Amino acid sequence: MSILGQNFSRVDGPAKLRGSAQFTGDIEMPGMVYAKVLRSAYPHARLTRVNAEKAQKLPGVVAVLTRDDLKKMNAYFGPVVKDQPVVALDRVRYVGDIIAAVAAEEKDIAEEALELIEVDYEPLPAIFDPAEAMKPGAPILHGESARSETRLDRDQFHFEKNSNVLSVYHASQGDVALGFREADEIFEDVYSSQKIQHGHIEPHAALAYWEPSGKLVIHTSTQNPSSIRAQLAELFNLPQSKVRVIVPFVGGGYGAKVHPRLEPLTATLARKAHRPVQWVLTREEVFLTAHCHASVVKIKTGVKRDGTIVARHVEGVYDTGAYALTGPSTIKNGGEVSGGPYRIAHQDLTTYCVYTNTPPTGPYRGFGVPQVCWAYESQMDDIARRLGIDPLELRLKNLVEEGDRFVTGDELVSVGISDCLKRAAEAVGWQSKQEQQDRELRGKMRGKGLAVMIKTTMTPSNSSALVRLNADGSAVLLTSSVELGQGTQTSLAQIVAEELGIVPERVSVTFPDTDVTPFDQSTSSSRTIFTMGSAARQAAGQIKQQLMEIGAHVLEANIEDLELREGNLQVKGAPEKRRTISQLFQAHYGAAVGSMAGSYDNQTRGGIDPKTGKGKASAFFFLSACAAEVEVDSETGKVKIERIVSAVDAGKAVNPRQCHMQNEGSMIMSLGSALFEEMVFDNGQPINATFLEYMPPSMEDHPRQFGSVLVETPHPEGPYGAKGVGEAALGPVEPAIGNAIANALSGLRIKDLPIRPDRILKAVQSTKEESQ
Amino acid sequence: MKIELRTVINGREVEASVKPNQTLLEWLRDDLRLRGSREGCGVGVCGSCTVLVDGRPVSSCLMLATNADGKEIQTIEGLAKGDELDAVQQAFLDQQAFQCGYCTSGMIMAAKALLSSNPTPSEDEVRDYLSGNICRCGTYQEVMAAIRTLAEKNLANR
């Protein structure tokens, strides 16, 4: 292997550094008009009147879309359940819910037209707290919604009826009551996490138009062209072949762009306008479009005096907002691993997906796992402290190992988690018992903390790849994987190049275009390198086989004695006996023309039974660890991260630098949500929905000592052993920082995220009062 | 109503009429089709729309196009000379100091401004100066490394 494992320079570098990389909002079409939308001012209300007559008459307005326009189509969409209308029908469910849309020649005119739309509301009681929403008698947000049929995991959810609880995940093993009876110590805690913005700097954008033949074309900033195509086809009763989704560069997604957001409305408005319609969100609108599920996690754990965890009971409530999006999938993902990466004989795990009158959520890097990891890993340090065991030792004692049967029923393979933990701990100079000593006694409020994480990936899922080798020895990979910053075009080019024995510079990777590129489930769940990478490898492998067969004939050699290297097919150990790819084409076709194609449809199999929560939950498991060292200012409550290191089991790093950058990005993102990021609402009204008031971490927040470690435990089904890394590092960051703070504060525990200075000061104050 | 203005953009004189409420960013993107500068927040804090006005970094989403009258504007499109990248672009390429690329133009323009006013910035100065350029992909370490290599070169050439 010569190309795999190399830090090959990114193929998208020149375009991005010159400013010429094209994002959706950069595309224009002749005759294009601009969309703006009218949003609800109420968190929950019946719409008694929507009148757009005046708006329609404003010069420059091309079309106004209201509920009256939805009568001849399926009004609802959604990836799991179809609960979200293109524009509101009878009622609005959050501040920012869309009531009407205008397409106009100029953006100013569209804005002006919105003010002419008359809306009468009849306010309804609203609920913002999932605990309230779960109580009997709470106002119900949704009736029964139709299920979406296009998801491979559609049978894995347990839905509730006539309730704000949309779905429940439950799994258990052993006898948890017995486990608690056997325990020497029992720990019971409640941890909470906040609503977080994805903060992709490119706001959502889409551009739609209808061809005269009746075909819908949409350019969109999405992570998931196949989901957009399927849902638009369902919305308009079109065959999928009549919906074309094209995705240029995407300016960050982190989950927020995984399922339809702007696309249904943009397409519907374009149909009415008979013109191409562009819709680009403002930053304030992005805040109203997607965010991370806030959560409350109750966790009860029974341990033996020697540190063996014997029983764990978890109940996690996730606030999915006003519409489901992938909520049921998120809470399933969180629930499956809510017991943590530990061997625990008795477990009972439940998670709930709950509607509230707040903006819709959706996948967020980590997909439901950071919420439970925050709970179990914070509690783990409290256990260590009370038992007088080093937190590193306590974890190592209980961690899962190769071949273990996980609570979901999966057999764990490629399990490098102990190595991840040891190497992260080593990187911050972890010194076992000494780390338990009270920092205050040393005159400095400094502490270190560790955490580990396990996460599943979307299973089952499909990825298809098509590779075309040209007669000049260059190749094209046709793929629907989205380049959203993670470097997927580069790493996939490396895989094809490795297989065909050519340099990656000679491989071109397409952007997704559903008319041309084969199906891919989604560029999410950090699944691309594992699932699409395998498909690309197999597709290229078919061409390799074809070249070998031609070469065996030409060189009069056995196939097993041949190899592809540096653009040549040669006899192993006798490189003078070789042919270039062009020469092989010549031998096969009579001239160096034409192409050879290989294609592969890859499916990872599995899924869980919604009744038991068990089955094959994941094609592979993400395993990671984080170690942090902090200093706490006891006067101001401010936390400074002195050192932070994440370690991730990558299986095999196809492009190590890109893997490190995924880890770094995960760490930066998560230190923001650990310490300060938080969406704030007052009775459903967003309070800080701009980057002035909600600021993601900047370079000034970047820790001075900042590291990433890659552990490589090859996975038998990953290409060359590779597993995904995109979000693996994120989960353990918050609890590692929380544990470091607790360590600095002599065990004082903050259980609510973010760990703001005022929370630290309040906690310090209350312990002082207790001791007086 | 339109307002006449004269300016120099990336070394070329431009005469145009703009709407009084049009921002510099809108004018660059919509009228001049210079789309390397991009809107991220619309309130001047994320830095992805950073351009240089008379050599100083400006959030073009906050500045009115009319205020560019008589001034010299440099955007990301004006940095490379044909096939040859500007030294800052080259350093970003060498360090792979980008991911999704959406904030990159603004980040490079801010780095350019920093290095022209202070050719050998310390790490603290880099952090302070670029704190108004947000990269949600978290590429800060590589951006700092790119600027460090340029600062080291500048120090050696003193």
Task: Give the pLDDT confidence of B41-71 residue by residue, as tens digits.
Answer: 999 999 999 999 999 999 999 999 999 999 9
Mean local confidence (pLDDT), A525-546: 98
Distance between CA atoms of residues A19 and A22, nearest Å: 8
pLDDT at res. A154: 85
Which of A9, A676, A699, A704 is most worth mutating to test chain B (most B CB atoms within 10 A of its CB)? A699
- What CATH number should be reported for the domain whose range is A461-604? 3.30.365.10
pLDDT at res. A149: 80
The CATH architecture to which B87-156 belongs is: Orthogonal Bundle (1.10)
Which of A7, A10, A16, A17 is most worth mutating to test chain B (most B CB atoms within 10 A of its CB)? A17
According to CATH, the topology of domain B3-78 is Ubiquitin-like (UB roll) (3.10.20)
A570 backbone dihedrals φ, ψ, rounded to 5°: -140, 160
pLDDT at res. A2: 79
pLDDT at res. A436: 58
Mean of the per-residue pLDDT values for chain B?
97
- DSSP 3-state assignment of A370? helix
Of A22, A203, A665, the CB nearest to B99: A665
A363 touches chain B (CB under 8 A): no
In the stretch 54-83 of chain B, residues with CB closer than 8 A to chain A read 75-77, 79-80
Residue B17 has pLDDT above 80, yes or no: yes
In the stretch 20-39 of chain B, residues with CB closer than 8 A to chain A read 21, 35-39
Distance between CA atoms of residues A461 and A445, nearest Å: 47
User: A667, B138: Cβ pair inside 8 Å?
Assistant: yes
Distance between CA atoms of residues A208 and A770, nearest Å: 62
Q: For domain A24-124+202-251+257-287, say whether CATH 3.90.1170.50 is its number.
A: yes
pLDDT at res. A439: 56
DSSP A196: B
Mean of the per-residue pLDDT values for chain A?
96
Q: Which of A470, A461, A597 is nearest to A533 (CA)?
A: A461
Mean local confidence (pLDDT), A498-523: 97
pLDDT at res. A770: 77
Express as a percent the part of chain A with pLDDT over 90: 94
pLDDT at res. B1: 83
Distance between CA atoms of residues A57 and A463, nearest Å: 48
pLDDT tens-digit series, residues A608-642: 999 999 999 999 999 999 999 999 998 899 999 99
pLDDT at res. A557: 96
Residue A1 has pLDDT above 60, yes or no: no
B139 touches chain A (CB under 8 A): yes
Q: CA of A659, closest CA in chain B: separation in Å?
A: 12
A21 touches chain B (CB under 8 A): yes
pLDDT tens-digit series, residues A289-331: 999 999 999 999 999 999 999 999 999 999 999 999 999 999 9
* 0.95 exceeded by pTM: yes
B128 touches chain A (CB under 8 A): yes
Mean local confidence (pLDDT), A357-374: 97
* Beta carbons within 10 angstroms of residue A79's beta carbon: 28
pLDDT tens-digit series, residues A651-705: 999 999 999 999 999 999 999 999 999 999 999 999 999 999 999 999 999 999 9
End-to-end alpha carbon distance in chain A: 67
A200 touches chain B (CB under 8 A): yes
User: B105, A19: Cβ pair inside 8 Å?
Assistant: yes
Distance between CA atoms of residues A591 and A596, nearest Å: 13
In the stretch 634-663 of chain A, residues with CB closer than 8 A to chain B read 657, 661
Which class would CATH give A294-458+609-771?
alpha beta
Residue pair A299/A336 in contact by the 8 Å Cβ criterion? no
User: A696, B102: Cβ pair inside 8 Å?
Assistant: no
Query: A345 to each of A124, A170, A308, A413, A419, how far by Cα in Å?
Result: 47, 16, 10, 19, 23
Mean local confidence (pLDDT), A336-343: 98
Of B77, B85, B100, the CB nearest to A251: B100
Q: CA of B124, closest CA in chain A: separation in Å?
A: 8
In the stretch 467-526 of chain A, residues with CB closer than 8 A to chain B read 484-487
Distance between CA atoms of residues A744 and A764, nearest Å: 11
Structure tokens at B26: 């809108």
Angle at A469 between CA A467 and CA A470, to 5 degrees: 140
* Closest-CA residue of chain A to B134: A698
A703 touches chain B (CB under 8 A): no
Angle at A737 between CA A734 and CA A739, to 5 degrees: 105
Which chain B residues are closer than 8 Å to A643 by Cβ? none
Mean local confidence (pLDDT), A502-509: 97
Distance between CA atoms of residues A764 and A752, nearest Å: 15
pLDDT tens-digit series, residues A200-239: 999 999 999 999 999 999 999 999 999 999 999 999 999 9
pLDDT confidence of A443, banded at 50, 70, 90?
A: low
Domain boundaries, chain B: 3-78, 87-156
Which chain B residues are closer than 8 Å to A201 by Cβ? 38, 40, 46, 48, 100, 102-103, 134-136
Which of B62, B99, B134 is most worth mutating to test chain A (most A CB atoms within 10 A of its CB)? B99
Domain A24-124+202-251+257-287 matches domain A294-458+609-771 at the CATH topology level: no
pLDDT tens-digit series, residues A61-89: 999 999 999 988 899 999 999 999 999 99
Burial class (CB in 10 A: 0-12, 13-18, 19+), A17: buried
Strand partners, A308: none
Distance between CA atoms of residues B37 and B47, nearest Å: 10
Distance between CA atoms of residues A460 and A610, nearest Å: 14
Residue A440 has pLDDT above 70, yes or no: no
Q: Which of A560, A611, A549, A616 is nearest to A584 (CA)?
A: A549
**B157 torsion bin: left (phi>0), alpha (psi -120 to 50), beta (else):** alpha
Q: Is the reported ipTM for this assembly greater than 0.90?
A: yes
The secondary structure of A248-295 as a DSSP string is -B-S--TTTTSS-SSHHHHHHHHHHHTS-EEEE--HHHHHTT--BPEE
Residue A433 has pLDDT above 80, yes or no: no
pLDDT confidence of A766, banded at 50, 70, 90?
A: confident
pLDDT at res. A607: 95
Mean local confidence (pLDDT), A526-542: 98
Residue pair A706/A770 in contact by the 8 Å Cβ criterion? no
Mean local confidence (pLDDT), A509-537: 97
Tokens 């009158």 -> residue: A357
In the stretch 67-126 of chain A, residues with CB closer than 8 A to chain B read 108
pLDDT at res. A432: 67
pLDDT tens-digit series, residues A707-719: 999 999 999 999 9
Angle at B6 between CA B3 and CA B7, to 5 degrees: 125
Mean local confidence (pLDDT), B125-145: 98
* Closest-CA residue of chain A to B92: A17
* Closest-CA residue of chain A to B44: A692
Query: A210 to each of A116, A240, A276, B75, B110, how far by Cα in Å?
Result: 27, 14, 7, 35, 41
pLDDT confidence of A144, banded at 50, 70, 90?
A: confident
User: B139, A665: Cβ pair inside 8 Å?
Assistant: yes
Query: A122 to each of A92, A125, A700, A712, how far by Cα in Å?
Result: 10, 10, 47, 59
Q: CA of A22, closest CA in chain B: separation in Å?
A: 8
Cα A325 → chain centroid:
13
DSSP A365: T
Domain boundaries, chain A: 24-124+202-251+257-287, 294-458+609-771, 461-604
Cα A107 → chain centroid:
32
Handedness of CA A531, A616, A353, A140 (dihedral sign): positive
Structure tokens at A53: 């007559």
Which chain A residues are closer than 8 Å to B135 by Cβ? 201
